[in-house]
Amino acid sequence: MRPSLRPLSAALVALAALAASACAADPSADTPQATAGGTLVYATGDAEPTCLDPHVGGNYPQGLLSTQFLEPLFGRDADGEIVPWLAESGEPSDDGLTWDITLRDDISFTDGTPFDAEAVAANIVHLQDPDTGSSTGYLAVEQVERVEVVDATHVRLHLSTPKSAMLEVLSQQWAAMESPAGIERGMEANCQAPIGTGPFVVESWTPQQSVTLARNEDYVATNPEADHEGAALLDGIEWRFVPDAATRQAALASGEVHVIDNPLPTDIAAAEAQGFGHIDQPRPAASNRIELNASQAPFDDDRVREAFLLVADPSPGIETLFAGTTSRSYAVLSSAEPLALSDPDAFPTDPERAAELLDEAGWVRADEDGIRTRNGERLVVRFPVSTNQSTPAEQSLFEQIQANAGAVGFDVELDPVDLSAWYGALAENAYDAVSAPYTTVGPDVLRILYHSDGITPAPSGYFANHAQLSDPDLDALLDEAMATTDADERAELYTAAQRIILDSHTVLPLYDQQNHFLTRGVEGVGTIHTISTPTFVNARLTE
């Protein structure tokens, strides 16, 4: 079975838009009337990007913001099927070594540069250029050896190895299309204001305060879920950086802002009673998880890893700290991924067995504080925590896990640090456990996170295999899954790969990566089904 895309039926798109318009035109008598125009105010708790260009580095805050002004070649619908965006179709060759992509012919970047095959080629060159310092986007196009410009609307990607996930990775925001002329301005200018094809444009950026986005008056809708033709209905968006969750919530309650992300679990639970809208859109690909560094002591010993998993016991904390807004995961893939292998039996809680395993591994209780030692070394677990990525509830969960592990003799050293210091700890291999969110599209994330190649840093310096798993059998399964385009065979390979990962005792799944948004005074806010970021192409203010 070969994955491919066919163009969306224009008649169906038009019919859907007409139906949406008809529904919008008949509000109930007590519903606030939505109006076009106005500036939506969005308050984010995610870290402020150091560069607005998601090709550079490639973290979630960049994807969150750049969704508003950059668009990918492909998207994904609510059922997980890849659909056209800037591209019309994509088709692999029989041997999987080339992909023929047909592009739309009615799109231009907001600086007037045509969107065409030359532009696609320029973007892939930019992603692969080591000077760009790309991580997520680089991994998306890593296997592209050559880009052939067939004509203005046809581009052919020649690969070093078959890649069944090609359309999935090209739907990521970190591989979104940017104006070649914008790229040529240089990194500094492009970081300040990337130029795309999206419904909004970057007007200005005041660091540590906000980014001002203005409506793209010439926007041509590519999102299949757009409910109208042409430009967005909002005049613009004020995107504020508000790190404190209570401050964001207070601003929403007062009507100062229209949308907030990363709300506290208690505020999510109370949202409906307070008259706020709530959007719950877990991220795809990987679950939120703790990974144990198998490359060095103490977790280079499988018995010690298994002991840690046997005492971590995150379930009670997830239930209480998250106020029912999420549930425990037992899979390395998100529940949004159809191929996720969930196995609760792989994660029992058994402190007595954990103690036996530690005894067998030579770690004995010696200190007065109950911490185990071996050859004079304490059983220390260095655990850097990114305060920009871990919510207060998650940090409290880590503290509970710290206490649970301490009961059998682990000394878990939680180190709350900012994002830059967190990246530094990973780069220096100065960690034994880490929770590292990673968002992409599809099950190929397993190759990124657990193939031995993932121990080697990308041009940005970031590496994704934090468990530092190096298993030839696992590598072979992941390579074969990337190469095959047969859906059934691919599913079997990914299931077998997940079994090896779970059995390695290097991963403690916690819950799906959370994406919650609370809204007030606005309707039509949606999320894109690739990386679950918000989109405001249909948004209308109601107060």
* Single pTM value for the model: 0.84
Q: For residues 56 and 175, give the distance between their C-alpha atoms in angstroms, rounded to a whole number.
A: 10
Contacts of 27 (CB under 8 A, 6+ apart): 33, 34
**What is the rounded average pLDDT of the residues 229-240?**
97
Which secondary structure element, helix H or strand E, spans residue 360, and what is its range? helix 351-360
Contacts of 2 (CB under 8 A, 6+ apart): 91, 92, 485
Task: Please report the pLDDT score of residue 33 as a whole number.
Answer: 61
Q: For residues 57 and 242, give the distance between their C-alpha atoms in angstroms, rounded to a whole number.
A: 22
CB contact at 8 A, 450 and 478: yes
Selection from 316, 344, 430 nearest residue 384 by Cα: 430
Q: For residues 136 and 133, give the distance between their C-alpha atoms in angstroms, rounded to a whole number.
A: 10
Sorted by where each starts, the structural domains of the chain and their CATH numbers stand as 36-281+516-541 (3.40.190.10), 287-512 (3.10.105.10)
Selection from 5, 197, 173, 8 nearest residue 101 by Cα: 5
Can you say whether the dihedral through the CA atoms of 402, 403, 404, 406 is positive or negative? Answer: positive
State yes or no: pLDDT of 168 exceeds 70. yes
Identify the band that residue 79 occupies on the pLDDT scale cut at 50, 70 and 90. confident
Task: Give the residue with greater pLDDT, 26 vs 535.
Answer: 535
Angle of helix 487-503 versus helix 472-483 axis, rounded to 10: 160
CB contact at 8 A, 481 and 96: no
State yes or no: pLDDT of 27 exceeds 70. no
Q: Which amino acid is at 444?
A: D
Q: For residues 479 and 493, give the distance between their C-alpha atoms in angstroms, rounded to a whole number.
A: 9
Least confident of 193-202, 374-383, 457-466: 457-466
Task: Please report the pLDDT score of residue 460 as a whole number.
Answer: 75
The pLDDT tens digits for 243-287 are 999 999 999 999 999 999 999 999 999 998 999 999 999 999 999
Can you say whether the dihedral through the CA atoms of 502, 505, 510, 514 is positive or negative? Answer: negative
State yes or no: pLDDT of 309 exceeds 60. yes
Can you say whether the dihedral through the CA atoms of 164, 168, 174, 177 is positive or negative? Answer: positive
Tally: H helices and E strands in the chain: 17, 25
CB contact at 8 A, 514 and 246: no
- How many Cβ atoms sit within 10 Å of the Cβ of residue 421? 13
Q: For residues 77 and 92, give the distance between their C-alpha atoms in angstroms, rounded to a whole number.
A: 20
Q: Quick one: 208 exposed, middle or buried, by C-beta within 10 A (0-12, 13-18, 19+)?
A: exposed
Task: Give the residue with greater pLDDT, 21 vs 338.
Answer: 338
Task: Please report the pLDDT score of residue 403 as a whole number.
Answer: 97
Task: Please report the pLDDT score of residue 32 as a whole number.
Answer: 56
The pLDDT tens digits for 402-435 are 999 999 999 999 999 998 899 999 999 999 999 9
Task: Please report the pLDDT score of residue 1 as a whole number.
Answer: 37
Task: Please report the pLDDT score of residue 437 as a whole number.
Answer: 85
State yes or no: pLDDT of 52 exceeds 50. yes
The pLDDT tens digits for 489-534 are 999 999 999 999 999 999 999 999 989 999 999 999 999 999 999 9
**What is the rounded average pLDDT of the residues 208-216?**
98
